[in-house]
């Protein structure tokens, strides 16, 4: 490979459209290798459930299908992130790691800090891109409007970029498989989560269900269909606000 490689660490941004990590890799003319890790510490946390695990699985499966349709793929791993990044780095000595700034719990915050240190120790450029108006860490109240404009008001949606992924990287990703998670159950009645489902849900709301929103959102009997049903997609990043 003649070009440097950027690993695109997918967390709660399982989409191709409006993805600044992919756009930045294209802008810098880097090879891009998407990477997702099912983390035992996150999957078994007190605030996680079977519903969360199913949503993650579906979102990443949908992303893999979308990537394969354009000639790319994603590395799927199971374990703690630093451990799996270390193993990936031994096979692909990447120089960039791009991810979105996840607003999660203490587990994911500590994990992000550990990854930042891991990158620093190896001279890897690590960049986190904001995905919402929520800023991690302290916020100067005098600059709230500036923050809003920089993260929401002045932001234009990004198109799907050209993803440079040579056969060597694609082969590595293609050999990775989803882990078997027998301790978790799935239910077909739960709302499906993927970028394609997000776009279909948004279109259905804007063209059909929104006419019932004003009168139906206040009742538990009708809110299920009168609401946008986009919360789960916003939560897992299969669509952006």
pTM: 0.90
Match 């159950």 to its residue by tokens.
185
Look at residue 155 and tell me whether its pLDDT is greater than 70.
no
pLDDT of residue 189: 79
**Res. 186 pLDDT band, cuts 50 70 90:** confident
Mean pLDDT of the chain: 91
- Residue 28, token pair as written in the block: 């810098």
- Residue 172, token pair as written in the block: 């590595």
Q: Are 132 and 236 in contact (CB under 8 A)?
A: no
Strands 75-78 and 96-100: unpaired
Look at residue 160 and tell me whether its pLDDT is greater than 90.
no
Rg of the chain over CA atoms, in angstroms?
19
Annotated domain spans of the chain: 1-147+159-180, 189-241
Contacts for 76 with CB less than 8 Å, ≥ 6 apart? 36, 38, 60, 64, 173, 176, 177, 178, 179
Homologous superfamily (CATH) of 1-147+159-180 is HUPs (3.40.50.620)
**Res. 188 pLDDT band, cuts 50 70 90:** confident
Contacts for 154 with CB less than 8 Å, ≥ 6 apart? none
């Amino acid at each position: 490979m003649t070009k440097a490689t950027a690993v695109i660490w997918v967390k709660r941004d399982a989409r191709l459209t409006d993805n600044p990590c992919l756009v930045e890799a294209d802008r810098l003319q880097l090879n891009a290798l998407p990477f997702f890790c099912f983390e035992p510490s996150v999957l078994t946390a007190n605030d996680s459930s079977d519903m969360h695990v199913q949503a993650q699985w579906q979102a990443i499966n949908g992303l893999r299908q979308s990537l394969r349709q354009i000639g790319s793929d994603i590395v799927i791993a199971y374990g703690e992130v630093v451990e799996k990044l270390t193993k990936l780095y031994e096979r692909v000595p990447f120089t960039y790691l791009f991810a979105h700034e996840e607003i999660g719990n203490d587990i994911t915050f500590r994990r992000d800090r550990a990854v930042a240190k891991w990158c620093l120790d190896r001279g890897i450029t690590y960049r986190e891109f904001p995905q919402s108006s929520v800023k991690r860490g302290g916020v100067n109240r005098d600059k709230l409007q500036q923050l809003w404009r920089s993260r929401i008001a002045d932001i234009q949606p990004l198109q799907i970029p050209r993803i440079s992924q040579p056969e060597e990287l694609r082969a590595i990703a293609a050999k990775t498989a989803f882990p078997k998670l027998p301790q978790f159950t799935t239910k077909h009645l739960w709302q499906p989560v993927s970028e394609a489902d997000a776009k279909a849900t948004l279109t259905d709301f804007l063209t059909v269900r929104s006419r019932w929103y004003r009168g139906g959102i206040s009742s538990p009997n009708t809110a299920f269909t009168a609401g946008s049903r986009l919360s789960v997609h916003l939560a897992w990043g299969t669509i952006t606000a």
